[in-house]
Chain A
Amino acid sequence: MALFIAGRTAQGALVLLAVSVVVFLLSFLSGDPAALMLPAEATPAQIAEFRQEMGFDQPVFVQYWDFLVGALTLDFGVSYFHGDDALGMVLERTIPTLQLTLAAMVVALLIAIPLATVAALRRGSVIDRLVGAVAMLGQSLPHFFVGIVLLIVFTVRLGWLPAIGSPTARGLVLPALTLGLYATAETMRLLRSNLLEVLHEDYVRTARAKGVSRAGVMVRHAMRNAVIPVITVLSLQVGTLLGGAVITETVFSYPGMGLLAVQSIANRDFLVIQAFVLIVAAIVVFLNVVLDIVYGLVDPRIRFEVRQS
């Protein structure tokens, strides 16, 4: 198991390195930062001086090296726009975003697991069809639309919840619902079909033959087996979820790093954006390793294979 974790961590580090190259090249290719950052009336001499000061006159790989060393020593430079440490700005906003993402995930699981179970148990019933419809809607509606509809209903019409999101219980409800809807739909659809499939397995028949009730079979036998592929899909979705967080935070002016990123893009504050992208990548990689470990815990066959190799 330790070997497995070490291997996955090394893999993750490689992914991050690759991301750093991409991030650097993208910001390198997005235009001359000196021209963007200096006022329009700057003289060529001023521009040249600025370029030299910032190191923009160096060859690409030297610039990349500086960037990488900076990233490794957690120095992403200073925001042009705010004058604050870029990394510090992003990190400060990371926790609220993680809170939002976690809340969305919890919402998704709390809604999806029971509904998928009922739908699978009562296949073809009204509930089953309702679940199917909700799953389809949830997967086809974009976040900004869901967010706006929720805002209109619960804030403008009913006045129950604040319009501005915040990492508090009340402030999280609407953003978490907005962000969680897609994951809810995906989990529900997948879990329902997995459960139906698993219910035909021989070991379910064995359990029934032992005298285990339908509910017992569902909870002790079907669920655990059906959840395994869901974990895989969820781990693939961490990135999507964080991407959705950017939109959701913008809709609700939620003080997370997504909102910061959108603002920084508008301000061409590209050191902040670099820090943002690398942090998001690090989070995705980290969560993937964690989910892989969870996967191994749920499915002993994986653990066994790892131990063997």
Chain B
Amino acid sequence: MAIRQQQERGAPVLEVRDLTVEIRTKRGTITPVDRLSFTLRGGEVLGLVGESGSGKSVSMMALMGLLPAGAARVTSGTAFLGGTDLLSVSPKRLNSMRGGVVSMVFQDPMSALNPVMRVGDQVMEAVRVHHRGLGRKGLRARAVELLELVGITDAGERMNAYPHEFSGGMRQRVMIAMAAANEPAVIIADEPTTALDVTVQAQILELLQDMKERIGSAIILITHDLGVIAEIADRVMVMYAGGKVEEAAVQPIFDAPRHPYTASLLASMPKLSGAVTTMRTIPGAPPDLLALPQGCRFNPRCPLADGRTECHTRAPELVHLDGGQQSACHFPAEVEKAFSRSSDQIEEGGERA
């Protein structure tokens, strides 16, 4: 059924280089995304994790050209998707790419659908914008097909319903139907299950994976749930205070994190496998973007930073380690040792926080 055949697995589809976003706030200008670079490969699921405020949403909004107009702007960087730089194309061309080759699923399906427009019309719109020639009949048929694909029963009838007649899980299915409508090369899912009942979270994730297999999209999945990462991501990217601090395939990062922040995240995760594994807070608070610490941004919270001048004077660059793992820490080799020793301590800290 896929119109565009599976993207060649493993070949880069989206290459982001030095993405930097500035936002003017009342207190001053912040840089919530600071020289972020990463590569998304065909057919993969790239997990994106990090504490609240680390810049996950802002970086993805920047790629989609959806930053709040006026206050926020991309100050540097490129993001090549199929030979076009998303960050510098004309607005018109960007419109034809959005929803076409790159689409997005948002966190809160309750507010993400237009309350006064029929569900079917909203799905049809997603198709129509990119297939101007299609008549109403064709559009409708395609929309019904999409709704069926995402598991909505009686799709033909449900086309006429309004969003408030749907449950949260069903609305998120509709969002996924719209995101998948034009078989995009990339789907960005920003915490697609956070707002949903625990019972439907798994179904929605399964659906996302299923759609990905069907249309061969690559997915960037933002989540706070490391259990989800372990289950469906191929690679993980960890953000801290606007920058990437670690990136690796899932297994290596869970086995041997090379950045103390990642190690803290994993340590704060309950060890019971199979149970709910929502990320808990790690000791200390994320930095104020208006008053970033000197040197490494993580140093006030880093158990390794004590007495090490590098940590307080020089910002660590991202280094490539063996196995494709990347870490922005001056002492990647010491992380494992330090955390096997202090993980109990950290877990206590996490409980208190």
Please list the residues of chain B having a beta carbon within 8 angstroms of any beta carbon in chain A. 64-66, 68, 91-92, 95-100, 103-104, 106, 108, 111-117, 125-126, 129-130, 162, 164-165, 175, 178, 181
Select from chain B the residue with minimum beta-carbon distance to A304.
Answer: B164
Assess A301 versus B115: contact at CB under 8 Å? Given A210-B99, A211-B129, A212-B95. yes
Q: How many A-B residue pairs have CB under 8 A?
A: 81
Instruction: Let me know if A210 and B162 touch, CB within 8 A.
Output: no
Chain A CB within 10 A, most for which of B91, B114, B125, B164: B114
| Residues A225 and B116 in contact, CB atoms below 8 Å apart | yes
Once the chains bind, are B116 and A209 in contact (CB under 8 Å)? Answer: no
A170–B106 alpha-carbon span in the complex (Å): 54
In contact, A221 and B117 (Cβ under 8 angstroms): yes
List the B side residues contacting A59 at CB < 8 Å: none
List A contacts of B181 (CB < 8 A).
Answer: 210
Q: Which B residues lie within 8 Å of A201 (CB)?
A: 111
> For residue B130, which residue of chain A has the nearest CB?
A211
| CB-nearest residue of chain B to A213 | B95
Q: Residue of B at shortest CB range from A225?
A: B116
Identify the closest chain B residue to A298 (Cβ).
B116
Contact call B99/A300, Cβ cutoff below 8 A: no
The B-contacting residues of A in range 262-306, CB under 8 angstroms, are 298-301, 304
Closest to B116 in A: A224
Query: Residue on B with the closest CB to A209?
Result: B104
**A208→B66 contact, CB < 8 A:** yes
Given A212-B99, A299-B115, A300-B116, 11 more pairs with CB closer than 8 A: A203-B115, A207-B125, A209-B104, A211-B95, A211-B98, A211-B130, A212-B129, A221-B117, A300-B162, A301-B115, A304-B165
Contacting residue for A211 out of B100, B111, B116, CB 8 A: B100
Are the CB atoms of A206 and B162 closer together than 8 Å? no
B120 to chain A, nearest CB (A): 13
Contact across chains for A211 and B96 when beta carbons are under 8 A apart? yes
Q: Specify which chain A residues have a CB less than 8 angstroms from the CB of B113 in the assembled complex.
A: 203, 206
B222 to chain A, nearest CB (A): 14
CB distance from B167 to the nearest CB of A (A): 14
State which of A205, A208, A213, A220 has its C-beta within 8 Å of the C-beta of B117. Answer: A220
The residue of chain A having its C-beta at the shortest distance from the C-beta of B162 within the complex is A300
The CA of A278 and the CA of B108, in the complex, are separated in Å by 50
**Docked CA distance A208–B117 (Å):** 15
Give the shortest distance, in Å, between B16 (CB) and chain A (any CB). Answer: 18
A202 within 8 A of B: yes
- Option from A210, A213, A301 in Cβ contact (under 8 Å) with B126: A210
Total A residues in contact with B, Cβ cutoff 8 Å: 25
Which chain B residue has the least Cβ–Cβ distance from A123? B70
Q: Pick the 8 closest A-B CB pairs, nearest first.
A: A211-B99, A210-B99, A202-B111, A203-B114, A300-B162, A211-B98, A211-B129, A209-B104
A141 to chain B, nearest CB (A): 33
CA distance A206 to B130 in the complex (A): 15
Whether A225 contacts B115 in the complex (CB less than 8 A), given A205-B66, A206-B106, A301-B164, comes out as yes
- In whole angstroms, what is the CA distance A216 to B98 when docked? 14
A228 / chain B contacts, CB cutoff of 8 Å: 116
What residues of chain A lie closer than 8 Å to B125, measured between beta carbons? 207, 210, 212, 220
Smallest CB separation, A214 vs chain B (Å) = 8
Q: Taking A220-B125, A298-B116 as contacts, is the C-beta distance between A206 and B175 under 8 angstroms? A: yes
Cβ-closest chain A residue relative to B110: A202
**Which residues of chain B come closer than 8 Å to A224, judged between CB atoms?**
116-117
Contacts of B129 in A (CB 8 A): 210-212, 216
Q: What separation, in Å, do the CA atoms of A214 and B130 have in the docked complex?
A: 15
Ordered by A's residue number, 21 sampled pairs between the chains whose C-beta atoms are within 8 Å are A200-B68, A202-B106, A202-B108, A203-B111, A206-B106, A206-B175, A206-B178, A207-B125, A208-B98, A210-B129, A210-B181, A211-B129, A212-B125, A214-B91, A216-B129, A220-B117, A224-B117, A299-B116, A301-B115, A301-B162, A304-B162
Give the CA-CA distance A187 to B66 in the complex, in Å. Answer: 29
State A209–B125 Cα separation when bound (angstroms): 12
Given A220-B125, A301-B162, A304-B162, the answer on whether A210 and B178 have CB atoms closer than 8 Å is yes
A209 and B130 contact, CB distance less than 8 A: no
Question: In the docked arrangement, what's the CA distance between A300 and B95, Å?
Answer: 29
Which of B96, B98, B117, B165 is within 8 Å of A209, CB to CB?
B98
List chain B residues, Cβ under 8 A from A299.
Answer: 115-116
Encoded as 1 (CB less than 8 Å from any B CB) or 0, chain A from 209 to 246 comes to 11111101000110011001000000000000000000
Q: How far, in whole Å, are A301 and B161 apart by their CA atoms in the complex?
A: 11
**Whole-angstrom distance from the CB of B325 to the nearest CB of chain A?**
32
What's the nearest-Cβ distance from chain A to residue B223, in Å? Answer: 19
Tell me which residues across on chain A come within 8 A of B66, comparing CB atoms: 205, 208-209
Minimum C-beta distance from A125 to chain B (A): 13
Complex Cα gap A207–B113 (Å) = 9
In the complex, which residues of chain A have a beta carbon less than 8 angstroms from the beta carbon of B112?
Answer: 202-203, 205-206
Most chain A Cβ neighbours within 10 Å, of B66, B97, B108: B66
CB-CB under 8 A from A214, the residues of chain B are: 91
Residue with the greatest number of chain B CB neighbours at <10 A, chosen from A210, A216, A224: A210
Q: Whose C-beta in chain B lies nearest to the C-beta of A124?
A: B70
Complex alpha-carbon distance, A209 and B175, angstroms: 11
A205 and B126 alpha carbons, distance in the complex (Å): 13
CB distance from B249 to the nearest CB of A (A): 29
A205 touches B106 (CB 8 A): yes
A221 to chain B, nearest CB (A): 5
Closest Cβ of chain B to A110, distance in Å, is 23
